[in-house]
Amino acid sequence: MARSFFITGTDTDAGKSIVTAGLLRALAAKGVPARAVKPVQTGCMPVNGLNEAPDVQLYRKAGGRGKALKAFGVPCSPHLAARLEHARLDLAELARACRAEAAGVDIVLFEGAGGLYVPLNEQDTMLDLMRELMLPVLLVVANRLGCINHAILSLDALENAGIDTAGIVLCRTLPPSIPDPGTATGAETAILEENARFLKGLAGKRQIPFLADIPFIPNFSPEDPYAWHRLEALLMPAAEHLLGVASCDAADASPKSGMSDLATQPALSAQEILDFDRAHLWHPYTSALAPLPVREVTGTSGARILLRGGQELIDGMSSWWCALHGYGNKSLVKAAQRQAARFSHVMFGGLTHAPAVELGRRLLPLLPKGLEHIFYADSGSVAVEVAMKMAVQFWRSLGNTEKSRFVALRGAYHGDTTGAMSLCDPVTGMHALFTGLLPRQIFVERPTCRFHEPYDPRSFHPMERALREHAAKIAAVVIEPVVQGAGGMWFYHPQYIKSLRSLCDELGMLLIADEIATGFGRTGRMFAYEWAGITPDILCMGKAMTGGMMTFSAVAATAETAGGISTAPPERGGGLFMHGPTFMANPLACAVACASIDTLLASPWRERVSAIEHSLSQGLAPCRGLPGVADVRVLGAIGVVETEQPVDVERWQDFFVACGVWIRPFGHTVYVMPPLIASPDDLARLTRALCAAARSAASHGGTPQIKDVPPPLS
């Protein structure tokens, strides 16, 4: 994609085709191989039984090469032209075809149809195709009355879509003798000159190169080379600029306009990015000086992550389980943009706002009756800290200062801040490193009752013993309901949680459900505690709450818990809950979370999760019984292959990336948690890669070999 550009216009008949054809000539004159591609062409006249694309004819007249990927007869919007021929344009398919075109050595100029918001189908527009391709865009502005407005709207739309504008070309397509509607004859020249002056200034302010001002050129015909020569000369600086951008991109094989997103700074090469990252940026759970390798992401779309160099990976991780709807979901992006344009943050002390209230109004109906007070926090770990503080403060408010310890399960993971870390498995949670720092909690063995097997009440005995023994000191029991996540992806029986709820009530201790990983549908229920039909006293939510767009979390407490804290006399805290992060109830995050919940509820998410469960169960079944595989299990949209030995993360990841998937194992756990929008084909590719890795590892001492990467599926 490195040597390609997208040419779009401010409107229909802005002059895109003339500019594209002229650029082909100018590039040819510089000896650069270039082609033009129309992703969609409408208005194709049947010539010799073929649908001949008019723009392709023009490219040919200019002496250039080109083709249309989709051609329709009627000259109208692509969505309608397709529909009139009983067809439908599919965005992903079109993007794939464009990427295939761009894969060669030629410079490819993709010419859009009409302006940015021209519909391709009922949902997608030409701008969505540009976003999928993420190529630098050349904007052709029709020099006519109203064009400044159209140019600004187009530039803003491109910028909001995160697309680089490589340059602006102003083009006059109408002869001077035909005044535009509303243009007083005689004033026309002044208007056209003012358009050019204004747009040059605007381009300068936005640091976008103004590349050409093309006057009306009559008579583009193969017989009369003069018009073409003139156009070529006028577009030569534009062609040279594009070549500069292309050669800078070719050096590191990434699509961009030559300016970084930070606009004023020159773009960094792939190597510069990796070098700086390695030298200065700390990554999770790795060394600062000898870190595990990283790969640079340049874009995301749906269930895909795009790497520098153009490789696409199907995301099996949902970015650590948060990108529930995949990436670039339009409603989420719009919600963030809309809220950012209004106000992105205000303190929550003494102020409130609609996004916070709207989110609360969406969360409450998802929760069981009783959970009715919501505290917004910054991240999952902070939510756990808040929940712990609530539990301790609850008992202190009642005059009980003894109850300040927590019970957690072995194999648990609750976060990386100090309090949350104290609840993580003492071995896999690396507690030993922090001896002395962490509060000492009470650990109970991991529930042995598996989710899909008949419940054995004896599995609850260790918990029962611990709770009865330490009841006086216990503020709360903290669990990840049904699925223990980062501690090993263990699925246990809901009856265990039911018994736990009863015993907490009997012995007087709170039950905290950490649904940061499981909340919002992942296990097939909105929250995993629903499998047990219980209500926790305190519930932590995070990750998928914002659909993975930004960090955010919420803690819901029952009226009883909140009431206990709030009615304390002055000597016991005076009813104030003592926590208040700077970014509490961040309006941007609240707005995105609202959009994410709406998107989830409007989707057939239960059916999707059960279809994913089915695909993962079938797809991972071949791993069962392989040497080195200890267990294969699936619950909801989570599929796990547990290995007997800990995996070599780097080597397994290399294998997965070579398979075109993004799966990051840890410890003994190789697992997938795909976005709920993953297609059956995406799921098949994920499980195929996982099985291939497990098979290869089985015959190579536990580490998959690149030579065993299966051939790509067509």
Q: Which of 44, 246, 474, 517 binds ligand PMP (CB under 6 A)?
A: 517
Q: Does 379 bind ligand PMP (CB under 6 A)?
A: yes
The stretch near ligand PMP (CB under 6 A) out of 49-57, 374-382, 392-400, 651-659 is 374-382
Q: Which of 22, 209, 380, 548 binds ligand PMP (CB under 6 A)?
A: 380
Give phi and psi for 281, each to the nearest 5: -105, 130
Q: Does 384 bind ligand PMP (CB under 6 A)?
A: yes
Q: Smallest distance, Å, CB 418 to ligand PMP?
A: 12
Size of the site for ligand PMP (CB under 6 A): 14
Q: Smallest distance, Å, CB 586 to ligand PMP?
A: 14
CA distance 692 to 695: 5
Q: Which of 485, 674, 675, 702 binds ligand PMP (CB under 6 A)?
A: 485
Shorter beta-carbon distance to ligand PMP: residue 414 or 493: 414
Q: Does 619 bind ligand PMP (CB under 6 A)?
A: no
Q: Which of 420, 479, 418, 417 is nearest to 444 (CA)?
A: 479
Q: Which of 154, 195, 300, 381 binds ligand PMP (CB under 6 A)?
A: 381
Q: Smallest distance, Å, CB 417 to ligand PMP?
A: 7
Sites for ligand PMP among residues 496-515 (CB under 6 A): 514
CA distances from 390 to 143, 371, 400, 578, 580 (A): 64, 14, 13, 9, 12
Shorter beta-carbon distance to ligand PMP: residue 26 or 424: 424
37 within 8 A of 108, measured Cβ to Cβ:
yes
CA distance 224 to 458: 92
Which residues are known catalytic residues?
285, 413, 514, 543
CA distance 255 to 259: 11
Show the site string, 452-481: x = touches ligand PMP by CB under 6 A, - = not. Answer: ----------------------------x-
CA distance 576 to 559: 15
Residues in contact with 470: Cβ distance below 8 Å, sequence separation at least 6, in sequence order: 405, 407, 442
CA distance 154 to 6: 14
Shorter beta-carbon distance to ligand PMP: residue 99 or 446: 446
Shorter beta-carbon distance to ligand PMP: residue 155 or 511: 511
Sites for ligand PMP among residues 388-427 (CB under 6 A): 413-415
Q: Which of 1, 348, 388, 313 is nearest to 163 (CA)?
A: 1
Residues in contact with 665: Cβ distance below 8 Å, sequence separation at least 6, in sequence order: 647, 649, 652, 653, 671
Q: Smallest distance, Å, CB 540 to ligand PMP?
A: 7
The stretch near ligand PMP (CB under 6 A) out of 21-29, 373-381, 524-532, 703-711 is 373-381
The DSSP string of 338-383 is HHHHH-S---SSS---HHHHHHHHHHGGGSPTTEEEEEEESSHHHH
Sites for ligand PMP among residues 532-551 (CB under 6 A): 542
Residues in contact with 429: Cβ distance below 8 Å, sequence separation at least 6, in sequence order: 412, 413, 421, 487
CA distance 608 to 324: 11
Cα–Cα–Cα angle for 448, 451, 453, rounded to 5 degrees: 80
Shorter beta-carbon distance to ligand PMP: residue 95 or 317: 317
Q: Smallest distance, Å, CB 406 to ligand PMP?
A: 14
Q: Smallest distance, Å, CB 485 to ligand PMP?
A: 4
The stretch near ligand PMP (CB under 6 A) out of 155-163, 276-284, 358-366, 375-383 is 375-383
314 within 8 A of 327, measured Cβ to Cβ:
no
Residue 526, Cβ density class (10 Å: 0-12 exposed, 13-18 middle, ≥19 buried) = buried
CB atoms within 10 A of CB 265: 9
Shorter beta-carbon distance to ligand PMP: residue 173 or 518: 518
Residue sitting closest to ligand PMP (CB): 380
Show the site string, 258-277: x = touches ligand PMP by CB under 6 A, - = not. Answer: --------------------
Shorter beta-carbon distance to ligand PMP: residue 32 or 366: 366
| Angle of the 354-363 helix axis to the 587-602 helix axis, nearest 10 | 40
The binding site for ligand PMP (CB under 6 A) comprises: 379-381, 384, 413-415, 480, 485-486, 514, 516-517, 542
